[in-house]
Structure 1
Amino acid sequence: MKTDIENFLNYLMVEKGFSGNTKEAYHNDLCQLADFAGNCLSNRGAQHLWDNFNRQDMLSYLLDLKERKYAVTTVVRKLAAAKSFFGFMIEEKKVRQNPTDNIESPKVGKPLPGAISVGQVKLLLEQPVKLSAPEAKRDRAMLELLYASGMRVSELINLNVEDVDCDEGQVRCFGKGQKERIVPIYPQAARATAEYVNEVRHRLQRDESEKALFLNRRGERLTRQGLWQILKEYARAAGLADQVTPHTLRHSFATHMLNGGADLRSVQELLGHANISTTQIYTHLTSDHIRRAYDSAHPRAKK
């Protein structure tokens, strides 16, 4: 059964251009489903084949997840992985029926992204400046680039040296599905990045063939986990430990751009969202700004 999962995951990578992170998430979810399916089939003496796993079995799996107190968002994700997998199996004629047919995902409220204020961003970005270690210049460049561009953390750590043009003030990154986009960055971020590249990166580099922009102490490409640990330390130093996640600067970038008057389409392009509905969630965070603008502009609202 797990061989079918591997074939499906390879299909996602080769045919659909899915990222390694998405493949890993699907792998974990589907292997969990395969273990549950194997137990179901064993209990009724059936062969361990996906074609013997039926709709009732799928409903039992979802009930099991609920009884084990999985979050609704996690159940939704696991069901989505199963739907995608069985859709593939139908196309490949590996199963005759889709056990996920007519099973609706649990309703889940879409959480608002966590943004922090302009003042809090400034406080966070100032933390590496207080340190003298060479890595502090790297960290400052990373934080400035995240807030300057709105990049995802995964996009930042996948940057190579050639992807940032500090003279032109722009960065080239690759989003979901390896879709390329060019994002402008403000001068302070460009200067911080140039300073890191010119003064620090070569001190971290062990292998001259390494192209990664941001390196760890071993001279290897910094990982998502490594960046998150670094960010947590600076958030703690800034007194923002409870308010900062790996994507806080991305969310703050989008919110502050809209508050500053940027149009939704431009922010969509900058964030690399395929659908503008994804970007629209940030408009909920700008209601205070809209209220202030209304109160100051409408003749009957002025005090």
Structure 2
Amino acid sequence: MNSGQTIEHFLNALWLEFGLSDNTLSAYGSDLRLFVKWVKEKDLTAVDEACIKDFLANRQQQGITSRSSARILSCLRRFYGYMLREGKISVDPTQLIDAPQLGRSLPGSLSEADVELLLQTPEISDMLGFRDRAMLEMLYATGLRVSELVELKFSQINFRQGCVRIVGKGDKERLVPVGEEAMDWAERYLNGARQVTLGNRQSDYLFVTARGSCMTRQAFWHIIKRYAQLAGIDKHLSPHTLRHAFATHLLNHGADLRVVQLLLGHSDLSTTQIYTHIAQQRLKALHTQHHPRG
């Protein structure tokens, strides 16, 4: 079996065993193919610890971040763990390699005033502008991942109950409440601009492009950046900026960390705990304001 087939078998095993998302599997596949190029003609079963350390050092010299380096090591650990279970190797070469130290920094976010500016930027007299406004409203109101938003289907939204049903990472399902403002924009878009955009065509997706198809994550990310620029928001943005703003603003207004965990779809509270210091700052402010000796 060649290296390409071995990688495909490994990715299939990951999908079956852990239900990892297509994006994660694609990243793992890319990392492993880079690793195969690095080891060249060397058999993957003959790779040792020194070879992996050299590969990681080379990737860091190419300018990748510590977080990306940690992801690559995680991929290689899973791969060689799989090879060990399959009896292809007798020793895991990644076993004694330490992961790079990562800081738990809070993702970049926007203030509530910034969000208001961003939401009001799309030109709603234009059909696609109205769609963009509805998408931004939905994204901020729910904290969905961008991939979850662009793939949102009409059947997943319940206008009567005011919620959306999301199947997130690992095929885990969650119900996310949607505020009246965002729901109103979605309903007006559904009954207006969407129908005009589609014409006689049919689509299962709630938010559609001018071609009547589902938008890509990359396309919507460019839309967010364009509107941020038009709004004069000079801050570092990421595809999940509004998701982080959603979580940050909930906590600022007194939401419980575990509630935010459920809404974001984090399987582990430790993932949500990057926001802990926000809750701590709010508690400190409340103590200072209300305690007799604050």
| Partner amino acid, structure 2, of 1:122 | E
1:212 aligns with 2:205: yes
Per-residue deviation, 1:287: 4.6
* Structure 1: gaps spanning 5 or more residues: 42-48
Give the percent of matched residue pairs that are identical in Structure 1 and Structure 2: 40
The CA RMSD measured in Å over matched residues stands at 1.6
1:99 aligns with 2:101: no
C-alpha separation between the residues in 1 aligned to 2:233 and 2:15? Answer: 37
Which of 225, 233, 239 aligns to 1:246? It is: 239
Encode CA deviations 1:241-298: one digit per residue, 9 max, x unaligned. 4343211111111111111111111111111111111112112234543332122111
C-alpha separation between the residues in 1 aligned to 2:236 and 2:276? Answer: 20
Match in the other structure for 2:121? 127
SS in structure 2 at match of 1:173? strand
Asked whether the 8 Å contact 1:90–1:96 carries over to 2, the reply is yes
C-alpha separation between the residues in 1 aligned to 2:140 and 2:242? Answer: 5
Per-residue deviation, 1:75: 1.0
Paired residues for 1:112-151 under 5 Å: 112-128=106-122, 130-151=123-144
Asked whether the 8 Å contact 1:206–1:218 carries over to 2, the reply is no
Asked whether the 8 Å contact 1:17–1:178 carries over to 2, the reply is yes
Per-residue deviation, 1:207: 7.5
Paired residues for 1:272-291 under 5 Å: 272-291=265-284
Per-residue deviation, 1:140: 1.1
Using structure 1 for the length normalisation, give the TM-score. Answer: 0.91
Encode CA deviations 1:21-70: one digit per residue, 9 max, x unaligned. 1111011101001111125x3xxxxxxx2221112211221222233332
Identify which range, 262-271 or 189-198, moves more after superposition: 262-271
Hey, which bits of structure 1, 4+ residues long, moved more than 6 A? none
SS in structure 2 at match of 1:181? strand
Match in the other structure for 2:72? 78
Using structure 2 for the length normalisation, give the TM-score. Answer: 0.94
Per-residue deviation, 1:13: 2.2
Match in the other structure for 2:46? 52
Per-residue deviation, 1:170: 0.7
C-alpha separation between the residues in 1 aligned to 2:193 and 2:236? Answer: 30
* Structure 2: gaps spanning 5 or more residues: none
Identify which range, 281-290 or 209-218, moves more after superposition: 281-290
| Partner amino acid, structure 1, of 2:291 | H
C-alpha separation between the residues in 1 aligned to 2:234 and 2:219? Answer: 16
**Structure 1 residues 206 and 90, CA gap change in structure 2 (3 angstroms):** farther
C-alpha separation between the residues in 2 aligned to 1:209 and 1:27? Answer: 34
SS in structure 1 at match of 2:23? helix
C-alpha separation between the residues in 2 aligned to 1:89 and 1:209? Answer: 46
Match in the other structure for 2:218? 225
Encode CA deviations 1:49-97: one digit per residue, 9 max, x unaligned. 2221112211221222233332211111111111111111111112222
How many residues matched?
Answer: 292
Encode CA deviations 1:187-233: one digit per residue, 9 max, x unaligned. 00000000111102123337845211111111110100111011111
